[in-house]
Chains A and B, each alone.
Chain A
Amino acid sequence: MSAPLRGAPETILIVGASLAGLAAAHALRAQGYAGALTLVGDEPHLPYDRPPLSKQVLRGQFCDDTTLPRHPDLRAAFRLGTPAQSLDLDARAVTLADGARLRYDRLLIATGTRARPWPNPDEAGLADVFTLRSRDDAARLSARLRAGPRRVILVGGGFIGFEVASTCRDLDIPVTVLVREGAPLSAALGPRLGGWVGGIAREQGVDLRLGAEIERMEAPGGRLAAVLLKDGARIEADVLVAAIGTVRNVAWLDGAGLAADDGGVTCDGYGRVLRANGDIVAEVFAAGDVARWPNPHQDERLVAVEHWGNAQAQARTAARNMLAGPAAGLIRHDHLPDFWSQQFGRTIKLVGLADGADSLAIVHGSLAEGRFVALYGREGRTVAAASVDSARWLPAYAAAIRERAPFPPFEGAVDQPRIRIEEP
Chain B
Amino acid sequence: MATIYVDGTPHEVEEGQNLLQACLSLGYDLPYFCWHPALHSVGACRQCAVKQFKDERDARGRIVMACMTPVADGIRISIDDPEAREFRKSVIEWLMTNHPHDCPICDEGGSCHLQDMTVMTGHAHRRFRYKKRTYRNQCLGPFLNHEMNRCIQCYRCVRFYRDYAGGRDFDVLGSRNRVYFGRHEDGVLENEFSGNLAEICPTGVFTDKTLKKHYTRKWDLQWSPSICPHCAVGCNVSPGERYGSLRCVVNRYNDAVNGYVLCDRGRFGYEYVNSEKRIRGPLARGAGENAVEAVSKGTALERIRPWISEPERVVGIGSPRASLESNFALRALVGPERFVAGMSDPELRLARRAVSILRDGPAAPPSVAEIEACDAVVVLGEDLTNSAPRLALAVRQAVRRQPTEKAARFKIPAWDAAAVAYCCQNEKGPLLVATPAPDRLDDAATWTRRAAPDDVARLGFAIAHAVCSASPAPDAMSEADRSLAEEVARALKDAKRPAVLTGVSCGSEDVLRAAANLAWALRAEGKDARLSIALPECNSMGLALMDGGSLDQAIEAVENGSAQTLVVLENDLFRRMEKTKAERLLESAQHAIAIDCVENPTTARAEIVLPAAALYEASGTVVNNEGRAQRFDRCYVAEDNIQDGWRWLIDAMSAARRSEAKDWTSLDDVRAAMTEALPALAGVAQLRVEGGKIPRQPHRYSGRTAMRAHIDMSEPTPPEDADSPLAFSMEGYSGAEPPALQPFFWSPGWNSPSAVNKHQREIGGALRGGSPGIRLIEAAPSEKIVWFEEIPQAFSRRPDEWLLVPLSRIFGGEELSVLSPAVAERVAAACIAMNPKDAEALGLKAGDEAEIRLGGTEPIRQPLADMKELPEGVAGWPSGLPGVEWVEMLSWIGRKGTD
Same complex: no
- Interface of B toward A, CB cutoff 8 Å: none
